[in-house]
Structure 1
């Protein structure tokens, strides 16, 4: 099968991918290339790449070796080159792991709710569609991204565990998305994005302060402390107890992924990726 449909959550801390064969994740740090004196292994996701003339390292190695910070571009938009590299590497990893013959890629990826505008979505789509020929770890990689759709982060996680109504707190490394879904429709006036996340906190372990800030933002959107709230993102299970001090019914999401022959439950960190994939399956039949 040379056609592959994917949901790709190109996070600033970790990339998550969902498809018919299962899921995958990797550290999304990126740093400039340099000649290494010692070929040290930092993690199973270490990658040395050359893409469109840009040489660098990605994965755990970039987290340790980055000269200028933590190798992540933060902000409330994904329309930038680092997102492109992360998505290309995500496709490389997924196809290598599950389906090396896949050469025609169709995907849904995400954009924070506040910047889910036509102009920003078009930038991402135009940035990604095309034929690619690059190298990773000395291996030549070739495939074509034939079509792309962009869904709102947080809100799209709804489609990983469909219901009728849902309030979702999607805690990421650079943003927190608050999504309100009523009758399976995204409600703009009670949804939004905080331009902060776990990796942008002064104290990255201060979950109590972040939970309090999330609640304060949620009250501006007219959320109530009696609302049932579903959490997702990489720290969903860690931050939920802190959120329960404000939302009494805060629950980590339990995404369901329909694979080729079965359905499995995956951790809440994959909620957006699974939601993107389920949307992609509907769009790219």
Structure 2
């Protein structure tokens, strides 16, 4: 294979990747490198990396070994170094998982709705496009990202299921909650937006009822109605959906359908953005 298209949702909690072969996910925590006396394994996604002169650990190991906190960079934009590292590691993991011989890679990555602006998109594209030569777990990795696009988180999830035509989407992430209105396959700006809080930045992450109420209150500012047809995606979809349904009785989970070479593969709602990115990528990188 000489060309690979990937949709990469490089979140602050987990990265989700979708491509023609299937999906992948891993914890995106990052911490600085240090010499270990005992090389203990914390998870199957443990990674020791050196990228652009920066040495560190990523994955589950970084959750336990980071002395400065969560090991995640939060905010309204993905135009930062940690995001680049997550994207490169996501590509490394995908080509390794599926034993691919790749010479050209094309990616679609995400950006929160509120910062989906030309300047921020250019920053993201400029930092990831081109040749990359780095090491992961003492293995040298070389590939070239030939082209890259930046899609809106939340609204991109719409493209994860070909049966959807119009919808209001609540994309609950670790650092932001994106709310997108798509009408007859067109993004509607004035009824879409981003809450600058997420499941990993809340003081009380267990009070899902309060989270759902806050989401509903923000949605009313965007002129959403209680009887709106709402679709929920993100890693907490299964647990928070009953609470969202108290506010929006017609709410349901997004059911992403990944188009592989010869069939469709149904994947969990946490992959909605990644599958949507991949679907958009197939159209953009023909």
- Distance in 1 separating the partners of 2:10 and 2:109: 7
Partner of 1:64: 64
Partner of 2:53: 53
Give the C-alpha shift of residue 232 in structure 1: 0.3
Give the C-alpha shift of residue 100 in structure 1: 2.8
Partner of 2:194: 193
Q: What does 1:127-276 correspond to in 2, within 5 Å?
A: 127-162=127-162, 163-276=164-277
Stretches of structure 2 that go unaligned for 5 or more consecutive residues are: none
- Distance in 2 separating the partners of 1:205 and 1:146: 42
Give the C-alpha shift of residue 261 in structure 1: 2.2
Give the C-alpha shift of residue 37 in structure 1: 1.2
- Distance in 2 separating the partners of 1:268 and 1:64: 27
Report the secondary structure of 1:187's partner residue: strand
Report the secondary structure of 1:245's partner residue: helix
Alignment deviations for residues 185-216 of structure 1 (CA, whole Å, 9 cap, x no partner): 11000000000000001122111111110000
- Distance in 2 separating the partners of 1:104 and 1:54: 24
- Distance in 2 separating the partners of 1:143 and 1:250: 41
- Distance in 2 separating the partners of 1:100 and 1:270: 21
Give the C-alpha shift of residue 10 in structure 1: 0.4
Report the secondary structure of 2:101's partner residue: coil
Partner of 1:38: 38
Give the C-alpha shift of residue 2 in structure 1: 2.0
- Distance in 2 separating the partners of 1:148 and 1:62: 28
- Distance in 1 separating the partners of 2:245 and 2:156: 23
Alignment deviations for residues 216-262 of structure 1 (CA, whole Å, 9 cap, x no partner): 00000000110111000100111110011100011011000011222
- Distance in 2 separating the partners of 1:262 and 1:228: 28
Partner of 2:85: 85
Query: Which structure 1 residue ranges, 4+ long, deviate > 3 Å from structure 2?
Result: none
The alignment's C-alpha RMSD in Å is 0.7
- Distance in 2 separating the partners of 1:261 and 1:98: 17
Aligned length: 285
Report the secondary structure of 2:62's partner residue: helix
- Distance in 2 separating the partners of 1:204 and 1:73: 18
Report the secondary structure of 1:91's partner residue: helix
Alignment deviations for residues 117-158 of structure 1 (CA, whole Å, 9 cap, x no partner): 000000000011010110000000000001000000000000
TM-score normalized by the length of structure 1: 0.99
Give the C-alpha shift of residue 99 in structure 1: 3.7
TM-score normalized by the length of structure 2: 0.99
